[in-house]
Amino acid sequence: QYRMVKEALEERAHLLQSAPHLSAPLPIMLPIYKWWQLPYYWVGIKLYDLVAGSQCLKSSYVLTKSRALELFPMLRKDRLVGAIVYYDGALPLCLFRMCVGCAAGMCSQVCGVYGVRCRDVLTGVCGVRCRDVLTGKEFDVRAKCVINATGPFTDSVRKMDDQEVPNICQPSAGVHIVMPGYYSPDNMGLLDPATSDGRVIFFLPWEKMTIAGTTDSPTDVTSHPIPMEEDINFILSEVRNYLGADVEVRRGDVLAAWSGIRPLVTNPDSKDTQSLSRNHVVTISDSGLITIAGGKWTTYRAMARDTIDAAIQEHNLKAGSCKTMGLQLEGAQDWSPTLYIRLVQDYGLESEVAQHLASTYGDKAFEVAKIAQVTGKRWPIVGKRLVSEFPYIEAEVVYGVKEYARTAVDMISRRTRLAFLNVQAADEALPRIVDIMGRELNWCEQKKKEQLEAAKTFLYYEMGYKVKTDQLTDRSEISLVPSDIERYKKRFRMFDKDKKGFITILDVQRVLESISVQMDENTLHEILNEVDLNKNGQVELNEFLQLMSAIQKGRVSGSRLAVLMKSAEENLRRREAIPVDRSGGGL
């Protein structure tokens, strides 16, 4: 365990140096609610600093209660003794850029092999049988050495080589949720090392949002694990334990949810084959298949080094000299913290967009800026956003296609992080993303429709859209007190002037016109569709009451229809409340 931690800390330092645009130190707070925990955790954290040695990012320190609340004002105040802060490395941005940076850093030219799956390991010769998932074609690839680096699917490939080989991989899943940024400070994370079920929970700022989640527990990878409602509720309950009573933690504030898989392994050469390791293991089969399993992002360089060393030794390959420690990844060479200013000045990008491009693509951000479309506005001059609340621009879709992106799912989940940040925003951006990709890749209308449906299915099942929409269905209970029911009925009747028992786009347009508010028909259709539970093109009184009940219980938040109707009601009341003789005259 000591050697594993020591190696991870050394590799952490390398990662921060090799990809400064993608990684950064992050202070993490451990709140202390019992006096005896203070020396206990203090010793552990200081040992962590000691093991890091000269690679220690910054020395950990103790905070008083008042100082802890100053840095993390959302914390629960009662019984808080103080806090300990330590520093760790964070990869806050797109991990796909790490993959591209690693590949481009090792090769003078990156060859794109996209969407190819291993069907079988060839017998008698060194190679694999592959299938192109985009075209369905199958073909053989022969090589001097085959390396199995398939994460949680390690054993499935090993059994292609030898069906009798025992499993060495135990996949484990950890559920993560994304919440609005106001749940945590911009530059301070929080860690609870001892939750009610013994797992560790983290609470970190991420992409101007807040990500919360648990460490892993064993799972089955026959299909990708889907975040369940009980997992999300568990995380929310733990978050409530640490946030103050004045911060209402609402189920409706979960913007995205997913389950990540980590491949824990047992070493087949070890005497204790039952114990799981968080380190990586390199094995060689009788046929010469090299398997690298386990590990984590932090130690990717050491994993690659050990794998290549094993391949060279096993297959008598010629090894060239290549120093990887200290090697900067693509995008890092000419990057600096102020690079985004040049993007603003030279191309007329918004400052937020420029910062995003610089911290995602590094010095390659200029290539994205060059293909950014003119907005037609005074400012920004270029850079049309995919959705208004996130800094992703249309030019990134074009650039992604140049880097072999071939599916809409790839674009919303790996090239951008929209699917991980806000499933509704990703859903709204999909039609435009598919249109751009269709233009670049010459898709027919049928292909565009298939891509749109596949991406929506991905959001619905794997990114938490299903559990989000399940918070408001036609079976949702109405648990409102009589006075609230009467108040909401009155608000509904302001729109339903004809007493039909439902409201349509025309009803909403009429009220908005009366208060001088303009809104296009497509937007109104989207707003009503969010609440139209039986999808009959209208919002009935019962559906509206179900919505307001779900909002009161915190299961739904950010409903545009609820905010619009409340705002219109207040606006109309103000107009009725001002007498003519006090409003500047009149007839």
Could you state, in order of their start, the residue ranges of all structural domains in the chain? 95-168+266-315, 338-469, 476-575
User: What secondary structure does DSSP assign to 330-356, as a single string?
Assistant: TT-TT--TTHHHHHHHHH---HHHHHH
Q: Which fold has domain 476-575?
A: Recoverin; domain 1 (1.10.238)
3 state DSSP class of 393 = strand
Strands 217-218 and 61-64, sheet pairing: unpaired
| Per-residue model confidence as pLDDT tens for the chain (587 residues) | 788 888 888 888 888 888 899 888 999 999 999 999 999 999 999 998 998 888 888 999 999 999 999 999 999 998 899 999 999 988 755 677 777 777 765 554 444 556 788 899 988 788 999 999 888 899 999 988 999 999 888 999 999 999 999 999 888 888 899 999 999 998 999 998 777 777 788 889 998 999 998 866 655 555 556 777 888 888 998 888 889 888 999 988 999 998 888 888 887 666 554 456 678 899 999 889 999 998 888 888 899 999 999 998 887 776 655 567 777 888 888 999 999 999 999 999 999 999 999 999 999 999 999 999 999 999 999 999 999 999 999 999 999 999 889 999 999 999 999 999 999 999 999 999 999 999 999 999 999 999 999 999 999 988 988 877 777 777 788 888 999 999 999 999 989 988 889 999 898 888 888 888 888 888 888 888 888 888 888 899 988 898 888 888 888 888 888 888 888 888 887 766 555 454 454 44
Taking the CB of residue 581, how many other CB atoms lie within 10 A of it?
8
Residue with tokens 């509206």: 544
Q: Which two tokens stand for residue 47?
A: 């040992």
3 state DSSP class of 152 = helix
325 touches 13 (CB < 8 A): no
CATH 3.50.50.60 at 95-168+266-315, yes or no: yes
Strands 147-148 and 290-294, sheet pairing: parallel
Q: Which two tokens stand for residue 342?
A: 């040049």
338-469 CATH pick, 1.10.8.870, 1.10.10.10, 3.30.10.20, 3.40.1400.10? 1.10.8.870
